[in-house]
Amino acid sequence: MNTSINIFEKEVDVVDDDAESINVRVTMKRVVEALLFSCNEPISLERIRNVTDTICPLSPKVLKDIIAELRSDYERLQMSFRVEELSGGYILTTTKRYSQYIALLHSGRRSEKLSRAATEVLAIVAYRQPLTRVNVEAIRGVDSSGILASLVDRGLVEVVGKVEAPGRPSLYATTKKFLRHFNLNNIKDLPQPESVAAVDFLKPMNNDQLSVFNEEAPQ
C-alpha cells in the first residue's frame, strides 16, 4: 500500500485502490454528504476538514477529490440534488429539473422579488463595490437610502467599512447571500456589463447609468 503520511501535518494521501483506501474514501464521502445535507449555506473546505480530520486526516487535494466524486455520483445516478461550489464553499442544491415542484411547495411564502429600483441599486453596488450611499445616488440621481436599508435587511448588501472623511460614511458591498442568490462562487464571476449574460441583471438601468461601470468610482 502506498498511502503516505505526513507526520508533521498529519495528512494522509489516499491514492491506492486497495480495500483499506477504498473504505476510507467511502466513509469520508458519506461524512461529507452528511455535513452538506445538514447545512443550508455553503460550507468551506476548511470547515469540512475540521470534521473529517477527527476521523482520518486527509490532504486538501484528496478531500477535494472526494467531493468531486460525490458530485459525480449524484450526476451519474440522476439524483434530485447536486453538489455546487458557491461563495467559496460547497452546498447541496436541487437540480433545475425539480425546481418547479419546490416552487409549488413554497408558493404560499411572501415573494422575495426585488423592485426595479432595488435591482438597480443592487447592480450598482455589485459592480462598483465598495461604495457609499452618496456614490450610489450620484449614479442614480435620486435618494437611495431607503433602498440600501432594504437590501441590507434582506441580507444582500452589508456595511463593510467607513470612509475616512467628514461624517465617516459607510461603505457598502454585496454579501455571501448575494452570491448564493445569483449562483456565483465569488464576485469576480459576475458577467461583464456589456455581455449578454448581464442583460437581465442590469436591464433596469439606462445607457447613461450603465456607462459608469467603465469609469472611475466617484470619490
For the chain, which domains are there? 4-105 (1.10.10.10), 116-214 (1.10.10.10)
Q: Phi and psi at residue 171, in whole multiples of 5°?
A: -100, 135
Per-residue pLDDT at 137 exceeds 70: yes
Name the residue among 160, 170, 159 with its Cα closest to residue 134.
Answer: 170
How long is the chain? 219
Residue 200: pLDDT band (50, 70, 90) is low
4 or 195: whose pLDDT is higher?
Answer: 195
Cell triple for residue 173?
Answer: 458591498
Measured CA to CA, the distance from residue 83 to residue 67 in angstroms comes to 8
Residue 185: pLDDT band (50, 70, 90) is confident
With beta carbons less than 8 A apart as the criterion, state whether 132 and 169 touch. yes
DSSP state of 58: B
Measured CA to CA, the distance from residue 16 to residue 57 in angstroms comes to 16
Measured CA to CA, the distance from residue 31 to residue 67 in angstroms comes to 10
185 or 68: whose pLDDT is higher?
Answer: 68
Query: What residue type is 123 in one-letter code?
Result: A
Q: What is the pLDDT of residues 27-79, one digit of tens each?
A: 899 999 999 998 878 899 999 999 999 988 889 999 999 999 999 999 999 99
Measured CA to CA, the distance from residue 81 to residue 71 in angstroms comes to 9
Residue 194 confidence (pLDDT): 60
Residue 13 confidence (pLDDT): 52
Q: Of the ranges 50-54, 88-92, 160-164, 213-217, which one carries the lowest mean pLDDT score? A: 213-217
pTM (two decimals):
0.49
Per-residue pLDDT at 215 exceeds 50: no
User: In sequence order, which residues have a C-beta less than 8 Å from that of residue 18 and are 6 or more positions away?
Assistant: 1
Residue 12: pLDDT band (50, 70, 90) is very low
Measured CA to CA, the distance from residue 94 to residue 107 in angstroms comes to 16
Q: Of the ranges 15-29, 45-59, 148-162, which one carries the lowest mean pLDDT score? A: 15-29
Measured CA to CA, the distance from residue 98 to residue 83 in angstroms comes to 15
Residue 131 confidence (pLDDT): 92
Residue 218: pLDDT band (50, 70, 90) is very low
Per-residue pLDDT at 163 exceeds 60: yes
User: In sequence order, which residues have a C-beta less than 8 Å from that of residue 176 and are 6 or more positions away?
Assistant: 41, 42, 87, 88
For the ranges 61-65, 95-99, 161-165, the maximum mean pLDDT occurs at: 61-65
Residue 132 confidence (pLDDT): 92
Parallel/antiparallel/unpaired status of strands 11-13 and 157-162:
unpaired
Percent of the chain with pLDDT over 90: 29
Name the residue among 184, 176, 214 with its Cα closest to residue 201.
Answer: 184
